[in-house]
Structure 1
Amino acid sequence: MTIRSVLKKEKQVLGKLMVEVYSSLPGFPTPDEQPEYYKMLANVADLADSSNTEVLVAVSGEKILGGVVYFSDMAQYGSGGTATQQKNASGFRLLAVSEEARGLGVGKALTNYCIGKAKTDGNKELIIHTTEAMKLAWGMYEKLGFKRSMDLDFLQKGFPVFGFRLSLQSHI
């Protein structure tokens, strides 16, 4: 497995993967409930056009196994709540792993890649958000050292979103 920036020719494939993953989460808002969110997911690779933002994919050969959006500056993070006001912090959002690649360590590899990037960027912490519908990922984040940070919580059109921080100074 290799992790790298998404290629132009992969944009549609990654967008389709994101929509499939998020729309299949039990308890997660549907495309009918949050059409703008799903439009953003379908065009996730376009987020790389923003400064301090990188759209990453995990690939095996030509096959995209998963993706994530990394932000070296939280001002570009694009979430609700206070996350975009955090200083000396990186963040990542929209981590998705294809159904056939689940259980292969793709989510963990993408997360660890973002941790490494945040350290390289000289930030003191890494911020993420997750939901009740993403309990599997939630557990993985906690095992990697992320701690709940209720000051980052917010509601996205009535849907609770939970914040986490990882101190990069204590993370080895």
Structure 2
Amino acid sequence: MPAQTHTIRNARPEEFAELGKLMVQVYEALEGFPKPHEQPNYYSMLSNIGDFTQKPGAELLVAIGDDGRLAGGVVYFRDMQYYGSGGTATQEQQASGFRLLAVAPGMQGSGIGKLLTQACIAKAKAHGNRQVIIHSTKAMQTAWGMYERLGFKRSLDLDFMQGELPVFGFRLML
């Protein structure tokens, strides 16, 4: 059987709830990451992931398999002022960013995260931005390797604390 291919596109409003459930499922399963009872507002944001589409220049991208199933998603920000993180990232100029990348359990390790990341990089280039900024945590170190292979470098100036959780910044110069 041939390997499944995936299409990256903007999420449709009728997909927002399913993607929100996937986000919660993926993030609460991360070892060492705060659980819903520890950061209820964060998980409410994940559940309502479609709300990000109300921000100027924000896009909710999804990976859809040729079987029609949702394989993952990410929020892309054309302008960092709407990125909504702690630290200094929202003050970066000529920069795009993405947050909340999640790949469905069972699909992790199959290149979906890379496809979503590459789509965000392509959008940043198309918008004429000079860099892409992202954040990650120790619980997401599997993704760090992928980001670094795609050219992202750790940027200590973008690090911040989310409550008790250290959040680490990465930058890709375009």
Shorter-chain TM band: over 0.9
Match for residue 29 of structure 2? 24
Structure 1 residue ranges (4+ consecutive) displaced by more than 3 angstroms after TM superposition:
none
Q: 1:86 deviation in Å? A: 0.4
Mapped pair 1:125 → 2:131: yes
Mapped pair 1:66 → 2:72: yes
CA RMSD of aligned residues (A): 0.6
Amino acid at match of 2:111: G
TM-score scaled by length of structure 1: 0.96
Return 5+ residue gaps in structure 1 as ranges: none
2:56 to 34, 38, 51: 51
Amino acid at match of 2:21: K
How far apart, CA to CA, are the structure 2 residues paired with 1:64 and 1:21? 13
Match for residue 86 of structure 1? 92
Identical amino acids, percent of aligned pairs: 60
How far apart, CA to CA, are the structure 2 residues paired with 1:161 and 1:83? 12
How far apart, CA to CA, are the structure 2 residues paired with 1:114 and 1:17? 20
How far apart, CA to CA, are the structure 2 residues paired with 1:58 and 1:37? 23
Mapped pair 1:109 → 2:115: yes
How far apart, CA to CA, are the structure 2 residues paired with 1:11 and 1:110? 16
Q: 1:113 deviation in Å? A: 0.5
Amino acid at match of 1:159: L
> What is the SS of the residue equivalent to 1:39?
helix
Return 5+ residue gaps in structure 2 as ranges: 1-5
Task: Say how many residue pairs are matched.
Answer: 168
TM-score scaled by length of structure 2: 0.95
Match for residue 149 of structure 1? 155
Q: 1:29 deviation in Å? A: 0.5
